[in-house]
Structures are given as structure tokens and as C-alpha cells.
Amino acid sequence: MKPATIRDVAERADVSVASVSRVLNGAGPVTEATRMRVLEAVEALQYVPHSGARSLSTSRTNTIGVILPDLYGEYFSELIRGMDVAARARGYHLIVSSSHDSADEASAAIRSMRGRVDGMIVLSPHVGAANLASGLAGRTPILLMNGGADVERPSIVIDNHGGAVAAVEHLVALGRTRIVHIAGPTGNLDAEARMAGYMEAMARAGLPPRVVEGAFTKASGHEAGESLAAAAERPDAVFAANDNMAVGAMLALQDAGLRVPEDIAIVGFDDIPLVSLVRPALTTLKINIAETGKRALQRLVGSIESAGEVAAAACEVVRPELVIRPSSVAATTPANRYARHRSLATAGEAISKGEHPDDQV
């Protein structure tokens, strides 16, 4: 049995299709009596409007596409959560496409979304991906969240450089001098900006930089940690380009018998929920991930709905905040570390507090 159409409903309610449409969209004048008859028919026939047909005549899909490099780790999961909440609040749906590690895959994903979304949020931290994305999207509004600051296009970027500088300055203030950076993958703009910030801050402090390669994964952080533990001149601090690697490195260093933070201090980047759950909890640069996702969605929807208007093509900057935890500063009362992080971590805002109690741990 084929699904009911608006005509079936109209027939059963003994009205015209126009009236059915008016009732269903709450637009236009209808008598209370007709409204009732229509709703009853809708119910009886289990009618659901065909979204394709609707989108054909309105040329709106009420759907936002999200292109992610990968869903691994907690970073992206948090981000999507923020977006989804914001999307639903505005009547939009989210189409996600993840696991694009190459520019090719990402552009295929963008192409296949064209025509079925009203706008797209692209997180493609690869060099050139920004231009690529906006080229491929055609007329589809797009919001970039890739690493490179791009003032031309609507985008949200993290102040990676500033965050890295803050990390190094924190370590320097603690008296650390042999500060190593575990870098993210080459070609990743976030990673490169963080490295640049590290280099600059080290130079300013008059310290020699030392960089170990990484790939943003826990495994690569672990490897880096192993090599540092075995190295001739052992560092007294590590600044990893993200939390995942910081955690991996910390485990390797601890397994090698080093004490954190006494022998070696560790600082990460992102503040994923995990980092307050490892011991010692990790000092990091906090980005309010879910909130950033929500913000991205809001901006995109705003520019979609304002259509022709001057869509303020501003590049918005998110400034990470240094959250100090025991991985860089020894806890005064080791027996009660847990309570300590809680108070040290800045309070979560609306999203994380209300809907995601885990963030608070």
C-alpha cells in the first residue's frame, strides 16, 4: 500500500489540497472546523508530507550538512552534539559525513551533499581544503571550521597560536626549560599554527625548541613519549598539540618510570572530557567544544535565513583558555585530587551543564 498523499487527505476531509497544506503549515486562514477535519484525516491515513516534494516547491531542505575529517576521539563527538541541539531547536536536520582523511574524500562528500542541504559546515584541516570547499559548494552557503584563519569567508577558527604561546609561557613560568613539542600531522593547519606558537614563545623565552612528530592520535603520542623517555637529554616538560597525544605521551612517560609533573610536566590542547579523568588530570587549553559547534550552526542558519542580506562574512575567533590541572602543577593534597580538578576547571556553560553531566567530572 502506497503512502497517503496530500490529495488523499484532502479527499477524505472533503476539502482542497490547499486547505490541507494551510492547516499543516499553519499558514493562511482556516476555519476551526476544517482544521479539525483535516487533522483527523491526517491521523486516520497516517499521512506524512513527502519532504522531497516539499523541498521541490519551497527549494528548502531544512537540512545542514557537516563534513568531518573523522569522528574519532571525543572532539568531534562533542562538536556534533552541540550542533545537533542547536539544529533541532531551529527545525533543522543534520547530515553528517565523517572519516575523510584526504582532500579527495572530503570533496566527494561535499559534492554528494550539494542539492540536499541548505548549507554546510566543513571541518577540513588540510591545506587548501578551504578553497576547495568553497569552490565545490557552489551556491550552497558554507561555514568553515578549518585551521587557517580565513578572513574572506564565513568561518570559525581557534586561536591556535595564542593558545600554544599560553601553554609555553605557563611551563616557562613553572621554571621548565627543556620543553618539547609533540606536533600534529603536517599539512594540518591547526597543528601547524600550534607549532608556530610554540616556536615563537620558545624563541621569546630564549629556549631552544625541540619538536617530535605526531599525528593527533593517542598512539602517536605514546610513541613520542617512549622516544622522549629514552632520549639522552630528557625534557622536563611536554606541550602536545592535542589532548589525545598528551594522554598517550603521559602514559608512555609514566610507564618509563617518570613522575608527572615532578619529573616532567605535560600540557595538552582542546580539553576533551577525557583529560580530567586521567591521573594526573591534564593541564590543557580549553575550547568549549559543544558550544563552538552550536555557535557554528547558529551562524550558518542565520546566513541561510537572511538569504540575500549582507551575510557578514566575518571570521570568528575562539580563544582557548588555559586550565591548570595537576599534570603541570603538583597537587597539594594528592589524596583529594578529584575535588581539585573540579574546582580548577572553569564552569561549563549552558550546553554542557544542562545536558551533558559528564563534562563536569
Q: Out of 16, 24, 39, 70, name the contact with its own copies by CB under 8 A.
A: 70
Q: Out of 94, 127, 329, 344, name the contact with its own copies by CB under 8 A.
A: 94
* Least distance CB 147 / DNA (angstroms): 34
Residue 360 in contact with its own copies, rule: CB under 8 A: yes
Specify the stretch interacting with its own copies by CB under 8 A; choose among 150-158, 204-212, 316-324, 351-359. 351-359
- Considering only residues 124 through 153, tell me which ones interact with its own copies, judged by CB under 8 A: 138-139
* Least distance CB 120 / its own copies (angstroms): 12
The residue with cell 531551529 is 90
Q: Out of 63, 188, 242, 283, name the contact with its own copies by CB under 8 A.
A: 63
What is the Cα–Cα distance from 168 to 181, expressed in whole angstroms? 9
Residue nearer to DNA on the CB measure, 48 or 310: 48
CA distances from 332 to 5, 125, 149, 329 (A): 69, 39, 40, 9
Site map 202..241 versus its own copies, x via CB under 8 A? ---------------xxx--x-------------------
* Least distance CB 296 / its own copies (angstroms): 16
Q: Out of 5, 16, 77, 131, name the contact with its own copies by CB under 8 A.
A: 77
Residues that bind DNA (CB under 7 A): 2-7, 14-22, 24-25, 27-31, 33-34, 47-50, 53-54, 56-59
Residue nearer to its own copies on the CB measure, 30 or 251: 251
* Least distance CB 4 / DNA (angstroms): 7
Residue 35 in contact with its own copies, rule: CB under 8 A: no
Residue nearer to its own copies on the CB measure, 40 or 355: 355
Binder of residue 77, out of DNA, its own copies, none (CB less than 5 to 8 A by kind)? its own copies
Binder of residue 33, out of its own copies, DNA, none (CB less than 5 to 8 A by kind)? DNA
Calculate ∠ Cα 243-100-305, nearest 5°.
95
Binder of residue 149, out of DNA, its own copies, none (CB less than 5 to 8 A by kind)? none
* Least distance CB 24 / DNA (angstroms): 6
Contact 185, 191 (CB under 8 A): yes
Residue 109 in contact with its own copies, rule: CB under 8 A: yes
What is the Cα–Cα distance from 46 to 9, expressed in whole angstroms? 9
